Amino acid sequence: MRIDKKNISIFIIWLVHISGFMGMVFYDLDFFATFTPLNLALMLIILIVNMSNIVKQEILSIFSIFFIGMLAEGLGVNYGLIFGKYDYGNNLGFKLFGVPFLIGINWIMLTIISGSIASYLFKTERKFLTITCGALLMLAMDFVMEPIAPKLDLWQFENLVVPLSNYFGWFIIGLITQTIYKLQFIKKEISVSSNLYIAFFLFFSLLNLFI
């Protein structure tokens, strides 16, 4: 295997997630959960570094996705709108109006990696099909994150019950951010994006089984 930036990035993705999983399951869940901000920041850097020749419109789109994600989450945390009533824990770091800054980062990452996979699966000009697929991939990720989130002190819904409005809200916001990604990003990177999506999905799915 040729050693290059992409291969090194994929190696780091799997090393971090396998190590994190092993540490949470076999050593100290609370200790390793505190590294969540570092993990998210590192994964974003890896993702951005592997995106080819980012242009101005793509940078503006990244900020737009961040703003949309933060706004939607702010309405949820403070008013119970869109997703339902919930609060964030302490393991996602600095908060702005009750919403961790890293949640906006999470929306950026999930939009990009899900949109890249959808664009690869549907190499067609039928934009609506690609956008819908991307939103569904984001929704699938939320399904595996929700059960384990309270145990990792990430977020928690009122009465520990995730309402249907959360999944509906995720899909709607996902459609919006996927539309931005599909229309504004010229090149879609697939190798790092697909590995990052699978690593995220397996990480949370397996934690649900073992914790």
Angle, vertex CA 108, rays to CA 104 and CA 112, nearest 5: 165
Q: What per-residue confidence (pLDDT) applies to 122? A: 87
Q: What per-residue confidence (pLDDT) applies to 159? A: 86
Question: Is-contact 69 103, C-beta < 8 A?
Answer: yes
CB atoms under 10 Å from CB of 103, counted, come to 24
**What's the pLDDT band for 56 if we cut at 50, 70, 90?**
confident
Least confident of 33-37, 107-111, 139-143: 33-37
Q: Work out the mean pLDDT of the chain and round it to a whole number.
A: 93
Q: Tell me how far apart the alpha carbons of residues 128 and 122 are, in angstroms, rounded to a whole number.
A: 10
| φ/ψ (deg, to 5) at 154 | -95, -55
pLDDT digits (tens, 9 = 90+) for 176-205: 999 999 999 888 889 999 999 999 999 999
pTM of the model: 0.93
Q: Tell me how far apart the alpha carbons of residues 141 and 144 are, in angstroms, rounded to a whole number.
A: 5
The structural domains of the chain, with segments of one domain joined by +, span 5-210
